[in-house]
Amino acid sequence: MKRSLTLCFLLASGVVLSAAAQTPAASAPPAAAAAGPTRIAVVAFQLAVAQTNEGQRDFGDLQKKYAPKEAGLKTLSDEIDSLSKQLQDQGASLSDVERANRSKTIDEKKKQLDRETEDLRNDGQQDMQDLYTTLASKVYDVMQSYAEAQGFTLVLDVSQQQSPVLYASGGTNITKMVIDAYNLKSGVPAPPAQPAQPAGSGAAPRSRGLTPPTSHSPSAVPSATH
């Protein structure tokens, strides 16, 4: 029985971001029309929020918060798998009563797993949404100030799946600049670098319960978004 016991799919599927990651510009008062030629920039806004030092720190803290609960669900899932295999292997030699009792135990544990997984998903969604919304508002303020200082009259968010941007030159992508500007303003230090695994160790990467909206580095944001 393969089940997803982590919350990483909350962000990957856009469940949280569809509600929380709307660019704050939608509620901002309209700015006065700027004189002169239009200058357009693009930004991967969700990436910018997640890759700030503050975002990495807070998302990491959220992962640690839910790690014990995820470990408990993983243990319960493994127990169900073990009991199911035992029933399958030994079923022919068991009495009808014993087989029925074991099946009932497995069904009860499956219901418990489904219930606790749903509770964890709901709690994680709310915490992630609150975290992202608060941080996104602050990053937006920095992005707006940066765009105004650089003379940009329009900034398009290319992190949205339905982004209308088909192409943008690298020079118009201000994602990294916004991240750097926010890090400077917030004063939050960069998180410590993770130790590299020895070459050829074959060790699998550590599973993480919660992930920020994207794990791509700012330099990897393509100029052509589709």
156 compared with 32, residue with greater pLDDT = 156
Tokens found for residue 145: 């100030």
Residue 202 resides in a domain: no
Residue 32 resides in a domain: no
Model pLDDT for residues 14-57, shown as the tens digit of each residue = 434 444 444 454 444 555 554 567 899 999 999 999 999 999 99
Mean per-residue pLDDT of the chain: 79
DSSP letter (8 states) at residue 173: B
CA pair distance 132, 60, nearest whole angstrom: 13
Residue 116 resides in a domain: yes
Taking 80 as the threshold, does the pLDDT of residue 2 lie above it? no
CA pair distance 91, 88, nearest whole angstrom: 5
Residue 31 resides in a domain: no
52 compared with 198, residue with greater pLDDT = 52
Number of domains in the chain: 1
CA pair distance 213, 44, nearest whole angstrom: 11
Question: Do the Cβ atoms of 219 and 180 come closer than 8 Å?
Answer: no
Residue 155 resides in a domain: yes
Question: Do the Cβ atoms of 175 and 48 come closer than 8 Å?
Answer: yes
**Closest to 48 measured CA to CA, from 213, 207, 222:** 213
Q: What pLDDT shows up at residue 19?
A: 40
Residue 30 resides in a domain: no
Residue 115 resides in a domain: yes
Taking 70 as the threshold, does the pLDDT of residue 74 lie above it? yes
Q: Hey, which residues does 40 pair with through a beta bridge?
A: 154
For the whole model, what pTM was predicted?
0.70
Q: Which domain holds residue 141?
A: 8-25+37-191+208-220
Residue 119 resides in a domain: yes
Q: What pLDDT shows up at residue 129?
A: 94
H/E run at residue 40: strand 40-43
The alpha carbon torsion through 75, 79, 80, 81 (nearest 10 deg) reads 100
Tokens found for residue 41: 């920039």
